[in-house]
Amino acid sequence: MKRIVSLLVVNLLFLSAFAQIQVYPLGNQPEKIKYTGSVTYALPTTTLKITVCVSKVQDVRGYFADYAESLLGLTNIIQQNRTHYVLNSVEIEPLKTADMSNIYRAFTSNPVMTEAMNQAPLSANTTYPEGYLAAYQTHTASLPEFFKNYADISYTQQQETFVDTKIIDGVVTQVPANHTKTVSKSFENKAREAADAIMKSRKDQYNLAAGEQETPYTGEALAIMLSELKNWESNYMSLFTGVSIADTIRYVFYLTPSNKLEQMTAFYFNENKGIIPTNGSAADAYTLGFSPRYPKMVEIAEWYYPQSGFMTRNRQPVHVTLSHNKTVHDFGMVNMYQAGSIFVAHPSTKESVDLNEFGIVF
């Protein structure tokens, strides 16, 4: 009998301590509450910061592209100028934010809890703007100097030899003569000279590598000469093959999955336009999928208020993927509040409490 009475006393003390905290959904609290401390907070949820890295590629046709196959046997060249986009990478970062569909007001008469509520710092970044936020160009490319500034001499000096008739000492005499004139180079001749420069560079590289030069160069000097010759060859080769330059752009999105973790479209990508906000013509949708590692606990269908503790929610691992057509990118496991369960936490009313452990304080 004494044991039963003792247990009843302990339970009464326990309930009395927790009765010092009353929690209501925001807007459902009584009009008059005689408590000294109060705080408004939202349950935590997970917002995904998505960073997409895209290259804006400009293909520039070579000046001598029409002669690439006939002079050098090249077929895999840039045939026309164009701009296109390449999706390089997608990264996600989970952020703790406020679930605006689950906001509560907590009241207390306990002095320790009152001080904690009155001095509770506002949580940073309670929400983020949904969807597309900004684009940052992190790298800007320019045409190679040789290709951009290439201007071969368009004219050449040509000598003509002919026979000139002159009267010398009363005698008609034919004497040889020559005349120099300036003529315009044909575009084909320019291309042939560029192709000859490539062949000469390759021949010089072979002679150096084979050791057929008369001067015994040091290894360092030989490496420098070979590098210069290869650079020379590459510069002239670009006049036939064309060049590609790429600017790097980073797009940032903030997306908050629903509490049911339904799949959602992250963004749309078009090869000719890059990242676009909506499903435009020929745009491909990239979709986020969520698979909780553990089944969610059966939650209480209807809570009764006031609760004598803080309504809160824990995180659980979720398998996150990004799919596009039949291609799937695996982000692995990400801890998300949407996969956790809502429960009542009973903090000690005798010690200092960090209210941000239970939610996002407003």
- At 113 the pLDDT is 82
Pairing of strands 171-184, 243-255: unpaired
- At 11 the pLDDT is 40
Burial class of 242 by CB neighbour count within 10 A (0 to 12, 13 to 18, 19+): buried
- At 132 the pLDDT is 59
- At 356 the pLDDT is 83
- Residues whose CB falls within 8 Å of the CB of residue 47, separated by 6 or more in sequence, listed in order: 94, 95, 96, 97, 127, 128, 254, 255, 256
For 77-101, write each residue's pLDDT tens digit. 999 999 999 999 999 999 999 998 8
pLDDT per residue as tens, the chain (362 positions): 444 333 333 343 333 444 478 999 987 777 777 777 888 899 999 999 999 999 999 999 999 999 999 999 999 999 999 999 999 999 999 999 999 889 999 998 888 888 877 777 766 667 777 765 667 777 778 888 888 888 666 655 556 665 666 666 666 676 676 656 555 678 888 899 999 999 999 999 988 888 777 777 888 988 999 999 999 999 999 999 999 999 999 988 899 999 999 999 999 998 888 888 776 556 788 999 999 998 876 666 678 888 989 999 999 999 999 998 888 899 999 999 999 989 999 887 666 778 888 888 88
- At 20 the pLDDT is 77
Kindly report the number of other CB atoms within 10 A of residue 41's CB atom. 27
SS3 241: helix
- At 18 the pLDDT is 44
For 230-281, write each residue's pLDDT tens digit. 999 999 999 999 999 999 999 888 999 999 999 999 999 988 888 887 765 5
Pinpoint the alpha helices (H) of 21-172: 68-72, 111-118, 145-149
Strand segments (E) across the chain = 21-25, 37-60, 82-108, 131-139, 155-168, 171-184, 243-255, 264-270, 274-276, 284-292, 310-313, 316-324, 327-336, 342-345, 360-361
- At 33 the pLDDT is 74
The end-to-end CA distance of the chain, in Å, is 49
- At 13 the pLDDT is 37
Kindly report the number of other CB atoms within 10 A of residue 184's CB atom. 9
Pinpoint the alpha helices (H) of the chain: 2-18, 68-72, 111-118, 145-149, 187-210, 219-241
Residues 125, 95: contact at Cβ < 8 Å? yes
- At 279 the pLDDT is 63
- At 181 the pLDDT is 54
Q: What is the pTM of this model?
A: 0.74
- At 320 the pLDDT is 97
What does each C-alpha distance from 247 to 18, 32, 38, 113, 135 come to in angstroms? 60, 62, 52, 55, 12
Pinpoint the alpha helices (H) of 104-251: 111-118, 145-149, 187-210, 219-241
Taking phi first (over 0 means left), then psi (-120 to 50 degrees means alpha), and beta for anything else, what does residue 344 get? beta
- At 12 the pLDDT is 36
